[in-house]
Structure 1
Amino acid sequence: MLASVLNVKESKAFERMIVVAGLPVGHNDRSLTKLVKSHFQDIKNEGGVVEDVIYPTRTKGVAYVIFKEKKVAENVIRKKKHSLAEKVGTIQLTVSHVSEKVFSSVNATLDLSVFLGQVVLESLVRDLKRKIPSLCFSPLEQNGRISVQGSFLAMKKLKESLLLKASSLLEKDRSSTSEGGKWNRQSPRSSLQRSSNALESPRSSVPRATRCGETFVLDTDVFLYLKKKKSCYESMLKRSNVLCQETVDGEITTICIKNARSGLPPNNEKLVKEFIEKCSHALYFELRKETFVLEGKKKREKRDIKLACEQLNPRYLQVLINFYETHIDILGPSSDIYLFKQEVMKLIRQTVR
């Protein structure tokens, strides 16, 4: 009974937690953590007693700050503008509730060389930055490649923008053809599709769509959680009489839906697709992801972390644990993930003693 009461009390820890984005990447983690804690404990910043600072996290430049009191977290967020004084200058931070922050991001390399001769690449990049300000772009390379980082949803918007641009250029080519010109078959749109929609991640790429009813992509972490923790996924597929081909490729999963038999409503596949996308979209904003790094640790440390996760697994039904050779990912609601990680660390400390 005591344990359950403590869990109920601690389950509200997310109410005292904020997400801090915009931290400088490449700095010493320990010193940056101290700097963040000092900033949010300062009453000038509407701060108060900081219980914990979680940094580094899975997402570069993002930290979680947990206050002792919920009121302090609310005051800090209400202030909105936060400037972190640092040796190299002043850094503007973005502060928000945990529930408002997307839990993961995608790193990709964009190949814009397919547009060479059609548009000025520098102008194209400026236009993309204006349309999708949440994305972070690296300097444009001479060969037309550029690195991009941002949320999965922002990446989908980027893909749509590029295909729209390619389509408009294709229409121009066709207009020129009707006036006596020769249509260039190596159009930007076809080139984009052949190069996996121009998004080639170091860890993953979007596979070329197969011929089937409906094909769409999801964030792999969200997809795994939806499939393993939400019974609505399998029940929807069974109830709708559809076959689902799932291709997991790094951070992106491609799903192909096709009717299992003839005679079903013509929009059946589309309805299933819309249902899955709606569920995944909601999860994308609800879930939080943390990682236990195994790479570089001793065998005993790796074993202790794995055993702790396995031991706690039955108590946290909303937490999905994915075991990999180099790390362990945990996904779930913010409050559950926070408690799960705290208990894992506690069990490890007890084992060391």
Structure 2
Amino acid sequence: MASVLNVTKSKASERTIVVGGLPVDLLSARSLVLLVKSYFQDIKNEGGEVEDVIYPTRTKGIAYVIFKEKKVAENVIGQKKHQLAGQVGGAPFQVSRFGVEVFSSVKATLDLSVFRSQVVLESLVMNLKKNIPTLSFSTLKHNGRISVEGSFLDIKKLKESLLLKARCLLDKTRNCTTEERKWNRPSPQRNLQKNPKSLESFRTLVPEAARSREMLVLDTDVFLYLKHKCAFYERTLNKFHIRSQEREEGGITTICLKPVCSQPNETKRVKEFIEKHSCALHLTLRKETFILEGKENREKRTLNQACEQLSWRYPKVLINFYRTHIDIIGSSSDTYLFKKEVMKLIGQKVT
């Protein structure tokens, strides 16, 4: 079976598509490969002969399908909707052109319990599914939590949608007259006051900066690179006297920009400036990962030391050390060469 790296280095990339949002929890990897292959070989789906299906991959729910002909890949990408039949009952999924962008899929856990006193959560989830059909939602749990998976841009759209809804509900509560409260059901604001934890969650969900359009939602890897490898980020905040507050959750970082002594329009300009650069980074950054889980302590130390040893030679590469893995983020060529040299140092082949 071909690897993603081999596809990247060959002309096969022109015949390859990325399949996202696959129902990985419903089928085994083998069954899913057979189902995906069968789907894309069906001429009713504008398919054709499939050379290979690469799955599982590093990203959950993502597979790579290589066709014999470039034209077939283009035809499949041109289709607006894709649904798997059979064992998964018409489960929708997404198709895009092949690329080695690591930020193609994000998984996040949402806590919708903060809305419980204002709306029926099941209805809220149904509306979210309708508005952003490319996202994959898990079953809503009794505690109000739900998992969602999809592209970073779709997750960003979802979070902004929830923030807007929270803002509208809060404004509606504040503008509610005494007469309305008398005849309507108990005030959501009163319910929140009875539960300080819910009130705090509600405030966290709608920070002051978000109400003033001073909030950014970025992929966490993009944000970390922006913060630690792009000097203009801190320099711009200092220049315009703006303070930033960041919160990371589910692979997404929410940044709230708050003016210290600057005008609101300057804060907005800074937001647009950061968004512009983060979008450029989103398209150019790549990530390689060294898995530490399951390795002996000696192997972990060797990998850590190799990465630290090479860091000075690759100043534009961001190295993030975690307990279970090490992430290498940078340009496509830098990350590939960095990983190759690390493997050489520890006496292994690049995979």
TM-score normalized by the length of structure 1: 0.67
Counterpart residue number, 1:300: 298
Counterpart residue number, 2:225: 225
Counterpart residue number, 1:322: 320
- Is 1:267 matched up with 2:265? yes
Is the contact made by 1:14 and 1:335 (CA closer than 8 Å) also made in structure 2?
no
Letter in 2 for 1:19: V
The structural deviation recorded for 1:321 is 1.9
In structure 1, distance between residues paired with 2:279 and 2:329:
15
State how 1:176-215 maps to structure 2 within 5 Å: 177-178=178-179, 181=182, 184=187, 185-186=189-190, 194-195=200-201, 214=214
- Is 1:331 matched up with 2:329? yes
The 3-state SS of whatever aligns with 1:306 is helix
In structure 1, distance between residues paired with 2:170 and 2:23:
41
Letter in 2 for 1:195: S
The structural deviation recorded for 1:225 is 0.9
Deviates more, 1:342-351 or 1:143-152: 342-351
In structure 2, distance between residues paired with 1:126 and 1:91:
15
State how 1:1-353 maps to structure 2 within 5 Å: 10=9, 18-26=17-25, 31=30, 45-46=47-48, 53=54, 55-57=56-58, 59-64=59-64, 72=69, 75-80=72-77, 94-99=94-99, 102-112=103-113, 114-116=115-117, 118-169=118-169, 174-175=175-176, 177-178=178-179, 181=182, 184=187, 185-186=189-190, 194-195=200-201, 214=214, 216-238=216-238, 240-247=239-246, 249-250=248-249, 251-259=251-259, 262=261, 265-310=263-308, 313=311, 318-334=316-332, 336-337=334-335, 340-341=338-339, 344-345=342-343, 348-350=346-348
In structure 1, distance between residues paired with 2:156 and 2:9:
36
Q: 1:274 to 1:41 in 2, by over 3 A?
A: closer
In structure 1, distance between residues paired with 2:324 and 2:225:
20
Total equivalences in the alignment: 327
The 3-state SS of whatever aligns with 1:119 is coil
Is the contact made by 2:109 and 2:145 (CA closer than 8 Å) also made in structure 1?
no
Q: 1:98 to 1:229 in 2, by over 3 A?
A: farther
Is the contact made by 2:242 and 2:267 (CA closer than 8 Å) also made in structure 1?
no
Is the contact made by 2:225 and 2:318 (CA closer than 8 Å) also made in structure 1?
yes
In structure 2, distance between residues paired with 1:142 and 1:36:
32
Note the alpha carbon deviations across 1:194-236, whole angstroms, 9 max, x for none.
215687xxxxxx9x56899955443321111112233332343
The 3-state SS of whatever aligns with 2:141 is coil
The structural deviation recorded for 1:137 is 2.0
The structural deviation recorded for 1:107 is 1.5
Is the contact made by 1:233 and 1:276 (CA closer than 8 Å) also made in structure 2?
yes
Structure 1 portions without partners, runs of 5+ = 1-8, 200-205
Q: 1:293 to 1:180 in 2, by over 3 A?
A: closer
Q: 1:113 to 1:144 in 2, by over 3 A?
A: farther
In structure 1, distance between residues paired with 2:54 and 2:300:
24
Q: 1:15 to 1:330 in 2, by over 3 A?
A: farther
Is the contact made by 2:16 and 2:98 (CA closer than 8 Å) also made in structure 1?
yes
Is the contact made by 1:19 and 1:63 (CA closer than 8 Å) also made in structure 2?
yes
The 3-state SS of whatever aligns with 1:292 is strand
Letter in 2 for 1:330: I
Structure 2 portions without partners, runs of 5+ = 1-7
Q: 1:244 to 1:179 in 2, by over 3 A?
A: closer
Counterpart residue number, 1:202: none
The structural deviation recorded for 1:54 is 6.9
RMSD across aligned positions (CA): 4.8
The structural deviation recorded for 1:114 is 3.3
In structure 2, distance between residues paired with 1:163 and 1:340:
39
In structure 2, distance between residues paired with 1:167 and 1:241:
27
Letter in 1 for 2:190: Q
The structural deviation recorded for 1:294 is 0.6
In structure 1, distance between residues paired with 2:92 and 2:12:
26
| Percent of aligned positions that are identical | 48
The 3-state SS of whatever aligns with 2:330 is strand
Letter in 2 for 1:186: R
The structural deviation recorded for 1:96 is 1.8
The structural deviation recorded for 1:143 is 4.4
Deviates more, 1:219-228 or 1:189-198: 189-198
TM-score normalized by the length of structure 2: 0.68
